[in-house]
Every structure is written in C-alpha cells, then in structure tokens.
Amino acid sequence: MNKILISACLLGDPVRYNGKSKSLENEYLRRWRAEDRLVPICPEIEGGLPVPREPAEILDGLAGDVIDSTAEVETINGNRVTESFLNGAKAALKMCQKLDIKVAILTDKSPSCGSHLIYDGTFSGQTIHGMGVTAAFLERHSIKVFSEQELQHVNEYLFVLDKEKILSAVGS
C-alpha cells in the first residue's frame, strides 16, 4: 500500500507556529491511520525552527522563487528563515524518496505546506493563490500534493496508485 506524507499538525501534533495543531478528523484519515499509511512531518521543524516560532511569509515572490533563490521567507519581525524552509522541504523529499511516497496532504495557507493558498507576504491576513516551499519542492519532484480539503481526491488518487502497484507486481 502506498504511504501518505501528511502535515503533523493535521494529526493533532502541536507543531504550528503558534504551538497549536490543526487537527482533522475524517473517515479517510481514520482508515489510512488504521492501514498504517500516514507518515507525519512538520517541514518547518525538520528545517530547524522551534515551536512556537514567529509567523513567516514568502516575500516578493512565490515558493518557486524561494527554491530558485530569487525570493525569501521572512518572519513578521524581519528575520530571514529561507534556509530553514528549504532544509525542511529537502527533508520532506528525502522522507518521500526513502519510503517511496508519491502523495502528500499538506496544510493550506502555510508558507511551507500550502498547496493552493498562501499568505501574500504583507502579514495582513490576505491570501493569494500559491504554494508553500515544501509543497512546491515536492511537486517539482513528482510528489502529488493535496490540501486537507481534498481528502476525497486523495482517496481517488491512492486508488489509482494502489492499482498500478498491484498490476506492476503481478506483471513482474
């Protein structure tokens, strides 16, 4: 069975910038947990940031720009944390490669994990369409990233992946 990389905060771990979780309860998550598919990660912690930590946003660009070294991730107090965000993204990819993970569920609006929305870099609470650094980095390496709002789509994608894995094993 295919494993799923998932933001640890969605499983109830208090790892968000404010020391809280963003617990999500859902029939899919319960089943995937029972099947031992879920692999939790907090890329920001993996990148060396503490809990709690200052809120951070991508400035003057999008996640792809951060990866390409043309934009930065900064905290609300002006501290650059780009390197920590990149290190967290690399740690997430390494985990995916080690466990042959092809799908991730990451917390939307996060400068690290956002798959559809991130904050606009002004610390005003406004969101824009875009990805977080880890989400974009994983997508660049062919890991399909979903938000916590897309669990039905994850389930459908897993069905296809599991079917392909079974057919491949039978054909070998």
Nearest to 21 by CA among 31, 6, 11: 11
Contact 74, 68 (CB under 8 A): no
Question: What is the mean pLDDT of the segment spanning 147-155?
Answer: 97
Give per-residue pLDDT as tens, 15-48.
Answer: 999 999 999 999 999 999 999 999 999 999 999 9
**Residue 134 CB partners (closer than 8 Å, separation 6+):** 43, 85, 88, 89, 92, 106, 112, 113
Mean pLDDT of the chain: 96
In the numeric block, the tokens 């947990």 are attached to 33
Give per-residue pLDDT as tens, 95-138.
Answer: 999 999 999 999 999 999 999 999 999 999 999 999 999 999 99
Q: Give 172's pLDDT tier (boundaries 50, 70, 90).
A: low
Give per-residue pLDDT as tens, 46-61.
Answer: 999 999 999 999 999 9
The pTM score is: 0.95
